[in-house]
Amino acid sequence: MLKLEHQTLNDRAYGALKQELISGGFSPGQILVIRKLAESFGISTTPIREALQRLVAERLLEMQNNRSIIVPLLSAPAFSELTRIRIAVEGLAGEMATSRMTESGLADIQAALGDMQRAIEAQDATAYLALNEAFHFAIYEHAGAPILLNMIRDLWGRVGPYLKLLMRADRYIPQSNDAHRGIVAALEQRNGPAVRASLEEDISVAAAVLCDNLHMAH
């Protein structure tokens, strides 16, 4: 019985750390200190250590020669490849979600769009990023495709640490909701290909801004 509880704690630590990567709670190149993470999560070091090792095995984190664990720094080619994969996979999830979208699900997504606009006007980057993540995953969860959803979570785990750099890019912030409006309009019309196209545009525009700003992470 104890082993089961121990396993649950490991899984919870793993889930929490992965969520921090997805949400941009960690920065590119940041060294993750086991003791500090254990303190912030209020648990012992063992589940944190095991969770970090799992994330290293999945290549969402990187172990250095000195055994320290860091959030990977992406090269421009790696970032470009991730972007192309995200466009394909997230576009597919959006298209699949369109026909399955419930009225209450659509209402939540419309509300998130309004909240994002208010966050932009308030220049609240932290709120915007959290809402942006919620907006995207609310759509993808309607695809009814758990394997696809896990793939998207892994991809966001790789790019999440970079997403907060978008909020430093002055030229991105005013236009950051344009593609989102297109996504919502296409969802309202139940137009799957248009949802896919707007998602592709959203990811492409953000990626282009990030490519210009990647040096900021190094």
Tens of pLDDT, residues 88-144: 999 999 999 999 999 999 999 999 999 999 998 998 888 999 999 999 999 999 999
Q: Which residue has the higher pLDDT, 164 or 149?
A: 149
Identify the domain boundary among 54, 70, 86: 70
Q: Residue 46 pLDDT more than 70? A: yes
59 with 131, same domain: the answer is no
pLDDT value, residue 6:
58
pLDDT value, residue 217:
44
Q: Which residue has the higher pLDDT, 33 or 174?
A: 33
115 with 53, same domain: the answer is no
Tens of pLDDT, residues 189-200: 999 999 999 999
59 with 126, same domain: the answer is no
Euclidean distance between CA atoms 15 and 52, whole angstroms: 11
Q: Which residue has the higher pLDDT, 98 or 167?
A: 98
65 with 30, same domain: the answer is yes
97 with 63, same domain: the answer is no
Q: In the chain, pLDDT over 70 holds for what percent of residues?
A: 92
Euclidean distance between CA atoms 58 and 71, whole angstroms: 12
CB 14 within 8 Å of CB 203: no
Quote the pTM value: 0.91
Domain containing 153 — which CATH number?
A: 1.20.120.530
Q: Residue 77 pLDDT more than 70? A: yes
Q: Residue 49 pLDDT more than 80? A: yes
Q: Residue 36 pLDDT more than 60? A: yes
Euclidean distance between CA atoms 174 and 170, whole angstroms: 8
CB 161 within 8 Å of CB 21: yes
pLDDT value, residue 2:
43
pLDDT value, residue 168:
76
CB 93 within 8 Å of CB 145: yes
Q: How many domains does the chain have?
A: 2
pLDDT value, residue 72:
96
